[in-house]
Structure 1
């Protein structure tokens, strides 16, 4: 899933104009802060947060096909253990007061980054007019 998302992102980035790439770079931190704000607001609304982690476990898989045991028989599967990774999401407790303080700090950072990004976007549009 992650590989597909990364491939799609690279494909979209390759199609972007120089101005769009410049604007994407200029607003990267702002987008990250916006995502964090949305996550904290969701945590506060739910009363808990989600934590994700990955576990890896061996699973039996067909690795190869062996020749038939008898003439005219069917090929036989050869099994081996392969690692399978699964992403687990679980609920974790939050400290609401701490989350609210984080939210206040992030909103201040968001305001600062919005001003900076506006200037950088204007510079991108001046440097790469469409």
Structure 2
């Protein structure tokens, strides 16, 4: 999964969590019932991207310390230190044939997860009618 697609997935999950407070009980139930499904979809997307690129991306956070001027409650300046984190991606060699086997396995699991989620979604809709 590329940084952009991972960021999109994370942003989507954050949005989902933020909206879950506003979501109806039915929507919350369906979101819970399809969590594994969404995880598999994200893994498939990441594996497809790896195959298309020909290499994987290793992601890590690098601390970036900085010093700046802060002010206390009486507006007196003092030096304060902050550490921000920056994501870096490093290309990693992978065996494309293994990635293709992994992709086939994930797609098989996705089909199983879809079959498993369907009755759960139906149950959510029957339990929490809108």
Q: TM-score, normalised by structure 2?
A: 0.81
Alignment partner, residue 98 of structure 2: 98
Alignment partner, residue 49 of structure 2: 42
Partner secondary structure for residue 21 of structure 2:
helix
1:129 deviates by 0.9
Task: Select the structure of larger CA radius of gyration.
Answer: 1
1:83 deviates by 1.7
Alignment partner, residue 71 of structure 1: none
The 2-side partners of 1:7 and 1:29 are apart by 16
Residue-pair matches, total: 120
1:27 deviates by 0.3
Task: Give RMSD over aligned pairs.
Answer: 2.3
1:78 deviates by 2.2
Q: 6, 10, 14: which is aligned to 2:21? A: 14
The structure-2 alpha-carbon separation of the partners of 1:41 and 1:124, relative to structure 1 and needing over 3 Å to count, comes to same
1:35 deviates by 0.6
Q: TM-score, normalised by structure 1?
A: 0.81
Is there any run of 5+ residues in structure 1 with no aligned partner, and where? 68-74
Alignment partner, residue 120 of structure 1: 120
The 2-side partners of 1:101 and 1:111 are apart by 16
The 2-side partners of 1:19 and 1:29 are apart by 17
1:61 deviates by 1.4
The 2-side partners of 1:7 and 1:116 are apart by 25
Encode CA deviations 1:34-77: one digit per residue, 9 max, x unaligned. Answer: 11001101110111111211111321111226x8xxxxxxx774
The 2-side partners of 1:28 and 1:7 are apart by 13
Alignment partner, residue 35 of structure 2: 28
